[in-house]
Structure 1
Amino acid sequence: MGTNPIRRAAALGALSLALCVPAHLPAHAAPTAPPVPLGGTAAEAAGAALVARRAAAGAAAGGNGGLDFRHCPDVEELPAPVRCATLRVPLDYARPDGPQISLTVSRVIATGAGGAVRQGALVHNPGGPGASGMFFPLTAGLPGRERIAAAYDLVGYAPRGVGRSAPLSCQDPATRAQGPTQVPADPSPAYKRQRLAAARAYARGCARLAGAALPHYTTLNNARDLDVLRAALGEPRLTFMGASYGTYLAAVYATLHPGRVRRMVLDSAVDPDPRRVWYRNNLDQSPGFERRWYDFRAWAARHHGTYRLGATPAAVQASYGRVLDAVARTPAGGVVGTGELRAAYLQAAYYDDVWPERAAALAAFLRGDPAPLTAQAAPDPRTAAEAENATAVYTAVLCNDASWPADWQTWDRDNTELARRAPFETWANAFLNLPCASWPVRERQRPVAVGAQPERLPRTLVVAAERDGATPYPGALELQRRLGAGASLVTETGAGSHGVVGGGNGCVDRHVERYLLTGATPGWRVTCAPHPEPAPVSLDDRAASARRALLPPVV
């Protein structure tokens, strides 16, 4: 968040991102289907190839990249020189001439500054699934992006289901803007039954509102759409930068189309092991977020003189607990209960640039001023529709992508065990994903066997933070292994913010820039020292702290 617009956009989509399975995971944790054949069914693969050929032919004939870029609609809030277009793709690639959907695309042309030679289009996906990348061309104006913006057209898009790209919804967005919600730290059997019923109702809502389109929101279709976008841009090979879920999308694309990959930056890597997608992956977020929650508390303790929350992580936890108990009794501002509080402080586990304002809000509340906490944690009606859409797409893609346990007993056993040592986010994460237990799609996808591509990939660049909670570091090691000998891994040691590129680490950004501009990677595995921790902001200087983060929906 803070000064990183990529993080801001990803926050809506990055509600709960996949990661590696811990060695201690219970044996009963997940049923896993064998990997899907490369390209899906024969009909889907043939349809995807046909649509991509048509897009490439249109690009060659049109001289405009195959896309009609014009002034962006006001709803996109994208100023000049950004231009927007729409890309038509099949809802179902097995029926390439059947029902079509439109994906929104944004672009800013390479500046050519300093005599730079244009290298084509750099396409970005910020993750989720459920986040829109339409904002990406705006990053051309950020400090440090000048050389990349000089050489590349920066292209963003909203994947299927997101924003105005055949938008998916599962419930009335207005219900997401209501508060407060009270989520117990140690849910009772009765509360669990309530959440199970709510998850089933949510899944039914997805089926009711999406109808026959629901099964077609998948990672495989996202990868097919990406290939059509590449072709429509007139690019023979794809240059791509993906964050979080965007790394999994990239890995699937590279497996399906290794000969169409030019360069790929994979930032904050999802573990692509088919045995982990997606139930097991999500389980491991609990200990990952617990580590990052500790990092925030340790930072606040080191700045006890500023915040007075306690001189040890345990003391800071006790201060947070007092606030938790208080809003359980009387919601802050009438709208912030324990659910809203947890969602706000989950952001501290994602991004350390929100630490000063989160610590200041706790301190202010304990001194009798609930206003900062209310401002940071209250649901915002203005983003309710966007948040609902992001959650719907996230849920549909993950539920469609793989098999999930259908019996509640498995979920209850696994998450009860995890919650004993990682209480901060375990149950909230479980309840978020619980619609997948009763997902109303009969035949779900089987995860692609990432790394089984028939030919060697060109050099790729994986970037990861060592203490990332949303996509823990072992996933980066697994992704590098599966991408092959040409994959290089840059690790930000001792840091844990989710989304490393553009996050204030000059060492990381230099490696990324050099790779995008020259294709050169820094070696098999290299490390960068962590970016500086945020400076404490006193209550008196609270207005100067980082701007309010865009919070994910309360679950």
Structure 2
Amino acid sequence: MATSRLLRTAGTVLTATALLISGCSSGSPSSGAAASRNPASGGTASAGTAPAPATSTLKPLPTAVPAALRPYYDQKLTWRECGVVGFECTTMKAPLDYEHPSAATDLKLAVSRKKATGPGDRLGSLMVNPGGPGGSAIDYLQQYAPQPEAVRARYDMVAMDPRGVARSEPVTCLSNAQMDDFTRVDQTPDDAAEADRLTSAFRTFAQGCLRRSGARLGHVSTAESARDMDILRAVLGDEKLTYVGASYGTFLGATYAGLFPSRVGRLVLDGAMDPALPARTMNRDQTAGFNTAFTAFAKDCAKQRDCPLGTGGPEEAGRRLSALFKKLDAHPAPTGGPRTLTESLATSGVTAAMYDEGAWPVLREYLAEAQKGDGRGLLALSDSYYERDPDGTYANQMFANPAVNCLDLPGAFSSPDEVRAALPAFRKASPVFGESFAWAALNCAYWPVKPTGAAHRITARGAAPILVVGTTRDPATPYPWARSLAAQLSSATLLTYDGDGHTAYGRGSDCIDTAINTYLLESTPPPPDKTCT
């Protein structure tokens, strides 16, 4: 069962394939990032509708560093060799609570870098974040970001695992065995008893996070992570921030720009989120985004000889996939081991493959196997989504994700009755995924820490030119979000990739890669509204 569909790059997804979101985050002006609030932006609307986008705007922090924070900005980092050859690692101190900094409660945040390789003059540091929230930026850096060569030659490539994530004071919630049980819970309840089991699972998860993570749970917001990035920028010796953020990383980067517009250097926001959207609207938009991706998959599948969903197009494909899910709901499929493939696990596996069209042939194969009663393939895709290793160990991503999301934004729903009332709108957005995505969005209703953020616009007035990138058939960050963010940011240029999959940079389009590399190396954005294929 997915408590949150994750926003993460296709590169990190297809190592094993995939991720999702559902309580995905939006604006969080917490911890001193003052924003004028629109009370309606995060409140409850009528059960079947979503609140309107926010009209409040994230306000910048004072440019002068407060005296209480000066020790953090003046700290010296001690680097050591680590991990992959050529990379260095260190830890950086940051206050748990920016409003009440205290050495007794400081966080230690993990940082890694790969120095510029040359030739050419060094341009400074380039920070990267692959999304999530909850994705390890260090893992991403060490596995994928030493490319492209022209960029890494001129920049020190740098990553910091955000607070609560991976190596940086990770949030934890359940044991591995408890997570196995959690992922199997029916996410399309057929009656009140099944709905009670689902809400009980959400409560158990939330209380486990509080019990195991304590005070950290109230201080893992996006705004706080953006402030951590400013400390890192300063201790690295950079006057301004150069940054490539993908998926949720675009919201982190945009938040930085909103808080510190005068310190913006070259920012690439690829697979953009819209911070002005309340949670329910965001979840419904993303449901439609996955439907768009599934339609593209179904059209492609119908052209292949091995298509297990028929040749009649998206409607037939949707009916056949829904029938498979219903069958698995009643009779989970064996997998050759002690675990079986349930409807919830199969749904995670299928949506995982929507992140990259390169996974479509594998998905066709695994769907055919599942139709014949073999659930091993779809279970493997689901495990990759949950970051579950073959030995049964779960990474921290599924814990950090709702911890950030539920702090950043009031929940999409406050009760099962609200979900039921909204089901027609979600089913309209996606006949295949709508019901499960709607119920998954109930998770924040039971979160033990109150949200500190609300939906808001980000203008970042005074910032240097920012590059926003959107993909037309992106499932996880629908293209309209990129258009909206580009319109909000006062200095943004929108670059469009007319294609499939999640995010665009480094995924095979020379046009996209050339435009982004030119911007990073020469500070020259592409022409307005440039479209690549």
Q: CA deviation at 1:496?
A: 2.9
Cα RMSD, aligned residues only: 3.2
Give the structure 2 partner of residue 238 of structure 1. Answer: 241
Matched, 1:346 2:351: yes
Aligned pair partner of 2:403 in 376, 386, 396:
396
Matched, 1:285 2:286: yes
Change (3 A) 1:278 1:201: same
* 8 Å CA contact retained: 2:493, 2:526: yes
Q: CA deviation at 1:322?
A: 5.1
Change (3 A) 1:4 1:401: closer
Q: CA deviation at 1:377?
A: 4.3
Which AA in structure 1 matches 2:333? P
How do 1:298-377 and structure 2 match up within 5 A?
A: 298-303=299-304, 305-307=305-307, 309-313=309-313, 314-321=315-322, 323-328=324-329, 329-333=331-335, 334-366=339-371, 371-377=376-382
Which AA in structure 2 matches 1:423? P
Change (3 A) 1:182 1:212: closer
Task: List runs of 5+ in structure 2 lacking aligned partners.
Answer: 1-6, 28-40
Distance 2:114 2:142 in 1: 8
Q: CA deviation at 1:368?
A: 6.7
How do 1:187-206 and structure 2 match up within 5 A?
A: 187-206=190-209
* 8 Å CA contact retained: 1:88, 1:101: yes
* 8 Å CA contact retained: 2:406, 2:451: no
Give the structure 1 partner of residue 214 of structure 2. Answer: 211
Matched, 1:425 2:433: yes
SS in 2 for 1:466: strand
TM-score by length of 1: 0.81
Give the structure 1 partner of residue 99 of structure 2. Answer: 94
Matched, 1:410 2:414: no
* 8 Å CA contact retained: 1:128, 1:245: yes
Distance 1:422 1:34 in 2: 28
Change (3 A) 1:296 1:394: same
Distance 1:288 1:441 in 2: 29
* 8 Å CA contact retained: 1:199, 1:435: yes
Change (3 A) 1:432 1:367: closer
Which AA in structure 1 matches 2:203? R
Q: CA deviation at 1:371?
A: 4.8
* 8 Å CA contact retained: 2:333, 2:373: no
Give the structure 2 partner of residue 68 of structure 1. Answer: 78
Distance 2:52 2:398 in 1: 24
Change (3 A) 1:102 1:448: farther
SS in 2 for 1:281: helix
Distance 2:250 2:16 in 1: 13
Percent identical: 30
Give the structure 2 partner of residue 29 of structure 1. Answer: 50
* 8 Å CA contact retained: 2:426, 2:438: no
Distance 2:187 2:437 in 1: 13
Q: CA deviation at 1:70?
A: 0.6
SS in 2 for 1:356: helix
Range with bigger deviation, 417-426 or 279-288: 417-426
Change (3 A) 1:245 1:84: same
Give the structure 2 partner of residue 57 of structure 1. Answer: 74
Give the structure 1 partner of residue 30 of structure 2. Answer: none
- Higher helix content, 1 or 2: 1
Distance 2:495 2:52 in 1: 33
SS in 1 for 2:274: coil
Aligned pair partner of 2:59 in 27, 38, 45:
38
Distance 1:317 1:105 in 2: 44
Change (3 A) 1:26 1:459: farther
* 8 Å CA contact retained: 1:90, 1:100: yes
Task: List runs of 5+ in structure 1 lacking aligned partners.
Answer: 59-65, 73-77, 530-555
Give the structure 2 partner of residue 479 of structure 1. Answer: 485
Change (3 A) 1:175 1:137: same
Distance 1:121 1:363 in 2: 47
Distance 2:410 2:375 in 1: 44
Range with bigger deviation, 442-451 or 344-353: 442-451
* 8 Å CA contact retained: 1:19, 1:271: yes
Q: CA deviation at 1:384?
A: 5.4
Which AA in structure 1 matches 2:287? S
Give the structure 1 partner of residue 117 of structure 2. Answer: 111
* 8 Å CA contact retained: 1:289, 1:424: no
- Deviations 1:123-150 (Å, cap 9, x if unpaired)? 01111111111024336786x6110010
Matched, 1:122 2:126: yes
- Deviations 1:232-277 (Å, cap 9, x if unpaired)? 211110001101111111111101100111000000000121xx14
SS in 2 for 1:280: helix
Q: CA deviation at 1:176?
A: 2.1
Q: CA deviation at 1:210?
A: 2.1
Which AA in structure 2 matches 1:121? S
Which AA in structure 2 matches 1:71? E
